[in-house]
Amino acid sequence: MALPELIIDRIETFLVPPRWLFVRVETRDGAVGWGEASLEGYGEAVMGAFEPIRDRFIGHDARRIEDIWQIAYRGGFYRGGPVLMSALSGLDQALWDLKGHAAGMPAWEMMGGRVRDKIRAYSWIGGDRPHDIGAAAKERHDQGFTAIKMNATAEMDWIGTPKLFDDVIARVEAAQAAGMDVGLDFHGRVHRPLAKRLAAALEPLGLLFIEEPLLSENFEGLKEISGLVSTPIALGERLFSRWDFKRFFEQAAVDIVQPDLSHAGGLSECRRIAAMAEAHDVAVAPHCPLGPLALAACLQLAGTAPNVAIQEMSIGIHYNVGHDLTSYVKDPEVLTAQEGYLAIPTGPGLGITIDEQQVREVAKEGHRWRNPIWRTRDGSFAEW
């Protein structure tokens, strides 16, 4: 049975604490879909990008998701980048949610059907000392998780000696002693001369992955490091389209890609990125330190892409404190990990129900969240 005509009538955005941007699309007959266009620290810029989106797509058929995606990406001449792609991501998620509700099926069903029932999840832990790390890892273990991600290091100089690595190794070993598999996030803070040595020093620890050992723009250095160690190299949270990922696949410079479904073109584009990754025998672990709609979209991808290996979720991230993944959601159990896994939602669209009244109320004040600024011991800027 064909879907009824779904003509877009309203496109709304809501800045909601702690740092999220929700998108609501409504059709003339009252069908609604929700998405998340959160771009940490630049929510107002993304809201501004929705002005041309409204001009283009109010009156457009919401069923034509791919046509809308192509026009939104290519129709404005200038394309790509975090602001435009985050806006497109939130719109794309909302359209899949809307169409899924109209069709009475999950997004993964419309994208080819389910390949799994659940996906392994990992959460974040903080702490600078091995004792703190051990306690935080035990807490996650008691919550049922078997994997965590943590900072590799607060800062590293351009050059140094292996003595700098002792603390990093001790912290990893403390988390592993609590029964955790560990992924280490370098945040691009370590420069190539030292990153090569640190990656080699960590090799015996059997890490899940090393994330952003260098910034993604330092392609040559990443290619070099990937050839020096067997530990999987992960990256991609600061890449925004299949074209950004293309050379990493072609040059075998990455083992795990981490597209963010609120930054990299939404569910449509990240499904394409996952397919490209599959063709190069690369795993997918979507980046998601964001809100409930972003995670719900990630679970739709996990439901339909066979090479999604593990899913990040933002439990314990200090800048989300007070507003966890169940904030603004009427069915929080859908986004609750059980025994280290997240179930693939079976409800229509993205599979969660947003509390619209609460969203509208808190959006009256919104937020002005900004990224913290970090400095090294000598006073110079340090990467986030």
Residues labelled as active-site residues: 187, 287
What's the mean pLDDT in 17-23? 96
pLDDT classification of 331: cutoffs 50, 70, 90: very high
Q: In Å, how far are 28, 105, 122 from 267, measured between CA atoms?
A: 24, 15, 20
Q: Which fold has domain 109-349?
A: TIM Barrel (3.20.20)
Q: Where are the domains of the chain?
A: 109-349
364 CB contacts (<8 Å, ≥6 apart)?
none
The token pair at 302 is 């996990």
For the purposes of burial, counting CB atoms within 10 Å of the CB of 337, is it exposed (0-12), middle (13-18) or buried (19 or more)? Answer: buried
What's the mean pLDDT in 226-254? 96
User: What pLDDT, in 10s, does the model give residues 140-180?
Assistant: 988 889 999 998 876 666 666 677 788 889 999 999 999 99
**In whole numbers, what is the pLDDT of the chain averaged over residues?**
92
Confidence check: pLDDT of 108 > 80: yes
CA distance 26 to 14: 14
CA distance 170 to 129: 8
HEC letters along the chain? CCCCCCEEEEEEEEEECCCEEEEEEEECCCCEEEEECCCCCCHHHHHHHHHHHHHHHCCCECCCHHHHHHHHHHCCCCCCCHHHHHHHHHHHHHHHHHHHHHHCCEHHHHCCCCCCCEEEEEEECCCCCHHHHHHHHHHHHHCCCCEEEEECCCCCCCCCCHHHHHHHHHHHHHHHHCCCEEEEECCCCCCHHHHHHHHHHHHHHCCCEEECCCCCCCHHHHHHHHCCCCCCEEECCCCCCHHHHHHHHHCCCCCEECCECCCCCHHHHHHHHHHHHHHCCCEECCECCCCHHHHHHHHHHHHHCCCECCEECCCCCHHHCCCCCCCCECCHHHHCCECCEEECCCCCECCCCECHHHHHHHCCCCCCCCCCCEECCCCCEECC
For the purposes of burial, counting CB atoms within 10 Å of the CB of 142, is it exposed (0-12), middle (13-18) or buried (19 or more)? Answer: exposed
pLDDT at 164: 76
Confidence check: pLDDT of 245 > 90: yes
CA distance 297 to 269: 12
Percentage of residues of the chain with pLDDT beyond 90: 78
Confidence check: pLDDT of 320 > 80: no
What's the one-letter identity of residue 192? R
pLDDT at 19: 94
Confidence check: pLDDT of 317 > 70: no
pLDDT at 143: 85
| Region of poorest pLDDT, from 146-160, 167-181, 327-341, 348-362 | 146-160
CA distance 375 to 72: 38
Question: Which residue bears the tokens 């049922």?
Answer: 144
Question: Which residue bears the tokens 């998780």?
Answer: 145
Q: Residue 382 forms beta bridges with which residues?
A: 374
pLDDT at 154: 65
Check residues 144 and 135 and name the one with the higher pLDDT.
Answer: 135
The token pair at 136 is 């935080």
Confidence check: pLDDT of 105 > 60: yes
Confidence check: pLDDT of 328 > 70: yes
Closest-CA residue to 47 (of 372, 373, 321, 368): 368
Check residues 323 and 12 and name the one with the higher pLDDT.
Answer: 12
pLDDT classification of 229: cutoffs 50, 70, 90: very high
pLDDT at 383: 78
Closest-CA residue to 292 (of 204, 239, 354, 365): 354
pLDDT at 130: 79
Confidence check: pLDDT of 187 > 90: no
CA distance 134 to 339: 19
What's the mean pLDDT in 183-197? 88
User: CB atoms < 10 A from the CB of 371, how many?
Assistant: 11
User: What pLDDT, in 10s, does the model give residues 117-130?
Assistant: 999 999 999 876 77
Question: Which residue bears the tokens 């990992």?
Answer: 122
CA distance 134 to 171: 8
pLDDT at 86: 98
CA distance 95 to 86: 14
289 upstream amide cis, omega within 30 of 0: no
pLDDT at 155: 63
CA distance 108 to 14: 26
Confidence check: pLDDT of 342 > 90: yes
pLDDT at 384: 73
